[in-house]
Amino acid sequence: MNLSESHRLFNHDENEGDKMITQVYSNIYKNEILLPNNPLKAINSYIIRGEDRNLIIDTGFNIPGCKDAFMKGMEELGIERKKTRLLVTHLHSDHSGLAAALQKEGVTVCAGAIDGRLINEMTEEAYWDRFKDYGRLFDLEKDNISFHDHPGYKYCPKEPIDFIYLKEGDVLKVGDYTFEIVDIPGHTPGHIGLYEQKHKLFFCGDHILDKITPNITFWGFEQDILSVYFNNLQKVAQYDIALLLTAHRSTIKDHRKRIQELLEHHRLRLNEILMIIKESKKSVRDTAAAMHWELRYDRWEDFPNPQKWFAAGEAMAHLEHLVATGKAEKIKESEIIYYKAK
């Protein structure tokens, strides 16, 4: 389950100025595409230019403003659509939103198999109907919540995409670069990244971000997604990386330091939630309402619907991890799930 293409919640000021194409490495450019009325502000779409073929990583929302910025970036660098592959690192709509439209214009579209299939499922209303059940399960019916105003629903691709599916170890050659696909699930079930060994570059999507914390949310009871994320943070820590190119905010030069900061963030988060559910059982919604969020809102009741989905999903991922590690128990009553510390 996921509606989120966002991350840890935080305050922001809208920056309405146009972003520019900037070179971040030899023949590698960052197209910073604005995400209107979204706390993430912008996405870093990367363009790798080669003589015979080009590669672009991630797209922005499925809205005219993002498409205009995306196409202007290609035009500025003289990128031909039919000589270009788009790689979608994961399913969130700020990364995949324009994939269907770009494929219609001759761009080859690649993704990991898990998230690629989920992106195509998201073009059907049946995918989103499941969230009515999650609303009840999480106790969000107290807030009369809907997903229809959520950017994940509004800005995702609306038509199926004929993806070229990539798996770990596959290689994409662009100019002087040889990129290897790396599986890094956690933020989504099938998140992928690209590693360039010679130059020690790693395109990590939303797996690791600077300043803000990637949202780790509930994806179903089949796996403890927080443990999956922790394992893949440690996986990336083993790589020799000089520059970590992230999908939001700044690039990262000391990836191991940032990984330790993220692990510490989640350790503190888990301890906070244990204290919330220590004395009595709590629903997911009531747990999320008691947690600390870096928002300008003082009360849970004032949170916009999308932020309530993000917060509940993050709370649920942490609660399920506490159950998986034997620190909490869960009880289901009248279609609502509750958690209590052991």
Each residue's pLDDT tens digit in the chain (342 positions)?
Answer: 444 333 333 333 333 345 579 999 999 999 999 999 888 999 999 999 999 999 999 999 999 999 999 999 999 999 999 999 999 999 999 999 999 999 999 999 999 999 999 999 999 988 988 888 899 999 999 998 888 888 889 999 999 999 999 999 999 999 999 999 999 999 999 999 999 999 999 999 999 999 899 999 999 999 999 999 999 999 999 999 999 999 999 999 999 999 999 999 999 999 999 999 999 999 999 999 999 998 777 899 999 888 999 999 999 999 999 999 999 999 999 899 999 999
Query: 269-306 burial string, b = 16+ CB within 10 Å, else e?
Result: bbeebbebbeeebbbbbbbbbeeebebeeeebeebebb
- Structural domain range at position 52: 21-263
In a domain, 195, yes or no: yes
Q: CA-CA-CA-CA torsion for 238, 228, 284, 130, nearest 10 degrees?
A: 130
pTM above 0.85, yes or no: yes
Residue 246 amino acid letter: T
Please state the domain count of the chain.
Answer: 1
Distance CA 262, CA 255 (A): 11
In a domain, 37, yes or no: yes
In a domain, 330, yes or no: no
pLDDT at position 39 is 87
In a domain, 243, yes or no: yes
In a domain, 197, yes or no: yes
Strands of the sheet containing 336-341, edge to edge, are: 282-283, 336-341, 328-333
In a domain, 301, yes or no: no
In a domain, 328, yes or no: no
In a domain, 131, yes or no: yes
CATH code where residue 242 lies: 3.60.15.10
pLDDT at position 19 is 53
